[in-house]
């Protein structure tokens, strides 16, 4: 949630003179804050949470002295966007106001603070639901919790806020009354009641906000040229990058910093996490994690690319194929029910159904290296560490425990090396099975 709010803050800036954002946190939330938030924020501790005014006071301790204007946002309002914040800032500057705030004419104000205006329409104060008089709470103009302040005035007046007689909290909204006492203007910028300024107080509201953000994200990609057969079933993280003419079919989930290049189709039932997919690829009913897929690759159905996998141009990874920390060269074919772990396969190599790299000896992972134009027969088991040379072949059911030289054939259990022309055995060959 906080990252979305900081994205909106970044979108409100009109030049490079804006100071870094300040995130105010309390001790219970310290462990939840993660590095890498947008805007490289400064953190300020509110040691004893005593209300919103106390939170702003804590934030001001980290504010540079030369800052002349302060924008205050709630950390649980993820749907707010930069242009809305910019409108509040511009209104304060235009009116030379001590405070400009965002307000919403809500259909159901509930327990939200009401904007109280004079008979002339000027903003006089905010009536909190716990403290307001009955006639004040009849208003449906609510305080949206977004403020722009004259920083000099704010530094002076924040220390004079008195605790609420009802709750003992230090309300930030008390500053509206103090500004009017000082003869300063308080401006209000009205916005539609579309949920943009809604705060998140429980898991139900969180789910509603996630839905709204998903719709916003999907629409932006479709406007930019991405086709979604059923947008309601497509789940995209905010950092996902999609080129034009990408097609997303139903039940697709793209997570983390995934990128999909132009012309690729992501088929039904696919999950891709922190991976790169090249141009003109087809991924269908599969899972791809922390992997790189080059152009014109076919994956699936029911493939699993685990972390560290790199699939070369034109390769084919088919039904129930699994790769882990493996590199496939150009044009490699791995079509059926196989596992390649800690392996490297050269260009145009063919992987027979049921092929396994036995990469774990119970203590250590070992690598398997397979050359170009190799042919791995059905049910080949490669016991790592082992190498298979260029143009080499293995017979069906071979258990390869020693390296196979280039151009040679390995057959049997354990596999023995033969010349390729000797396989399959002739009619009079004593080694031919009965």
Write out the DSSP string of 340-390.
Answer: EESEEE-TT-EE-TT-EEE-B-SS-B--EEE-TT-EE-TT-EEESSEEE-T
Read off the tokens for 144. Answer: 């949206």
Angle among Cα 81, 82, 86 to the nearest 5 degrees reads 130
Catalytic residue among 310, 336, 366, 421: 336
366 is catalytic: no
Which residues face 113 on adjacent strands?
A: none
The Cα–Cα gap between 373 and 224 comes to: 41
Using a 10 angstrom Cβ sphere, with 0-12 exposed, 13-18 middle and 19 or more buried, the burial of residue 349 is buried
The Cα–Cα gap between 26 and 30 comes to: 6
Q: What is the CA radius of gyration of the chain?
A: 32
Which secondary-structure segment (H or E) carries 56? helix 52-60
The Cα–Cα gap between 114 and 310 comes to: 57
Which residues face 235 on adjacent strands?
A: 253
Strands 282-283 and 298-299: parallel
Read off the tokens for 403. Answer: 């390296």
Residue numbers annotated as active site: 336
């Amino acid at each position: 949630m906080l990252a979305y709010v900081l994205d909106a803050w970044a979108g409100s800036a009109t030049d490079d003179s804006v100071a870094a954002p300040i995130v105010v946190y309390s001790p219970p939330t310290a462990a939840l804050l993660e590095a890498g938030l947008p805007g490289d924020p400064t953190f300020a501790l509110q040691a004893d949470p005593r209300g919103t005014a106390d939170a702003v006071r804590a934030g001001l301790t980290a504010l540079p002295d030369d800052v002349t204007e302060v924008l205050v946002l709630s950390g649980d309002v993820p749907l707010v966007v930069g242009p809305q914040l910019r409108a509040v800032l511009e209104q304060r500057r235009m009116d030379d106001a001590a405070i400009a705030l965002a307000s919403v004419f809500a259909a159901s104000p509930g327990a939200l603070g009401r904007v109280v205006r004079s008979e002339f329409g000027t903003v006089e104060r905010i009536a909190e639901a716990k403290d307001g008089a009955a006639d004040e709470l009849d208003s449906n103009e609510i305080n949206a919790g977004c403020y722009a302040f004259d920083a000099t005035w704010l530094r002076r007046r924040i220390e004079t806020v008195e605790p609420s007689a009802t709750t003992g909290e230090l309300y930030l909204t008390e500053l509206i009354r103090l500004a009017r006492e000082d003869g300063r203007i308080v401006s209000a910028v009205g916005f539609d009641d579309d949920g943009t300024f809604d705060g998140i107080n429980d898991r139900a509201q969180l789910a509603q906000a996630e839905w709204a953000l998903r719709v916003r994200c999907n629409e932006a990609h479709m406007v930019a040229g991405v086709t979604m057969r059923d947008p309601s079933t497509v789940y995209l993280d905010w950092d996902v990058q999609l080129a034009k003419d990408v097609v997303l079919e139903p039940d697709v989930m793209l997570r983390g910093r995934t990128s999909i290049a132009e012309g690729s189709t992501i088929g039904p039932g696919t999950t891709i996490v922190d991976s790169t997919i090249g141009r003109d690829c087809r991924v269908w009913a599969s899972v791809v994690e922390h992997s790189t897929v080059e152009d014109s690759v076919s994956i699936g159905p029911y493939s699993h690319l685990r972390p560290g996998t790199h699939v070369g141009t034109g390769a084919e990874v088919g039904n129930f194929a699994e790769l882990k920390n493996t590199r496939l060269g150009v044009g490699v074919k791995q079509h059926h029910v196989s596992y390649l772990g800690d392996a490297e396969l050269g260009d145009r190599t063919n992987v027979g159904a049921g092929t396994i790299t036995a990469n774990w000896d119970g203590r250590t992972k070992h690598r398997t290296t397979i050359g170009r134009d190799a042919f791995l027969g059905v049910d080949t088991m490669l016991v790592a560490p082992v190498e298979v040379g260029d143009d080499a072949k293995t017979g069906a059911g071979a258990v390869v425990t020693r390296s196979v030289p280039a151009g040679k054939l390995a057959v049997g259990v354990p596999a023995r090396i033969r010349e390729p022309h000797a396989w399959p055995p002739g009619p009079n060959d004593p080694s031919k099975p009965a």
